[in-house]
């Protein structure tokens, strides 16, 4: 059984990029797809043990699109992420939204992001 273990832990999109890069490198070196891509050590800035902690996919996309030239759209992103992380429709601020459950925003990220909008 072939396993690609990812230990990189940083921001959400950084974790996704490293996971994809390591998987592609494995495929290029071994001419096959790994049986398992273990990213259980990733996304630690956001993981909690509380199912009530939520991150709205729309909010995540908004943050990404503010910094990136290649803009993400809600529906394709939700479909792609759902293959890797459990999402559910939940209420946040009295609105229904697709959410990543048992994750929350890193406090430092939220502060830095809020400050970058003010500057």
* CB contact burial 51-68 (16+ within 10 A = b; e otherwise): eebbbbbbebbebbeeee
**Are residues 118 and 60 both part of a single domain?**
yes
**Is the confidence at residue 49, as pLDDT, over 60?**
yes
Rounded mean pLDDT, 46-50: 70
Percent of the chain with pLDDT over 70: 76
**Which pLDDT score, from 0 to 100, does residue 119 have?**
46
| Structural domain span for residue 35 | 1-44
**Which pLDDT score, from 0 to 100, does residue 34 have?**
92
**Is the confidence at residue 118, as pLDDT, over 60?**
no
**Which pLDDT score, from 0 to 100, does residue 23 have?**
93
**Are residues 93 and 50 both part of a single domain?**
yes
pLDDT in tens, 52-100: 677 777 777 777 777 777 777 766 777 677 666 777 788 777 878 877 7
**Are residues 95 and 110 both part of a single domain?**
yes
Strand (E) or helix (H) holding 54: strand 54-56
**Are residues 6 and 62 both part of a single domain?**
no
Rounded mean pLDDT, 98-113: 70
**Are residues 107 and 92 both part of a single domain?**
yes
**Are residues 24 and 39 both part of a single domain?**
yes
**Are residues 106 and 89 both part of a single domain?**
yes
pLDDT in tens, 9-31: 888 888 889 999 999 999 999 99
Structurally, the chain folds into a number of domains equal to: 2
Backbone dihedral angles phi then psi of residue 106, each to the nearest 5 degrees:
-65, 130
**Are residues 106 and 119 both part of a single domain?**
yes
**Are residues 86 and 35 both part of a single domain?**
no
**Are residues 55 and 35 both part of a single domain?**
no
């Amino acid at each position: 059984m072939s396993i690609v273990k990812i230990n990189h832990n940083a921001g959400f999109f950084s974790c996704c990029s490293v996971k994809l890069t390591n998987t592609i490198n494995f495929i290029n070196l071994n001419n096959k797809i790994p049986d398992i891509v273990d990213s259980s050590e990733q996304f630690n800035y956001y993981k909690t043990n509380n199912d009530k902690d939520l991150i709205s996919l729309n909010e995540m996309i908004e943050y990404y699109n503010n910094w990136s030239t290649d803009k993400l759209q809600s529906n394709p992103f939700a479909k792609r992420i759902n293959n890797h992380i459990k999402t559910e429709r939940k209420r946040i601020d009295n609105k229904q939204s697709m959410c990543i459950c048992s994750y929350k925003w890193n406090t430092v990220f939220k502060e830095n992001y809020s400050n970058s909008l003010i500057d």
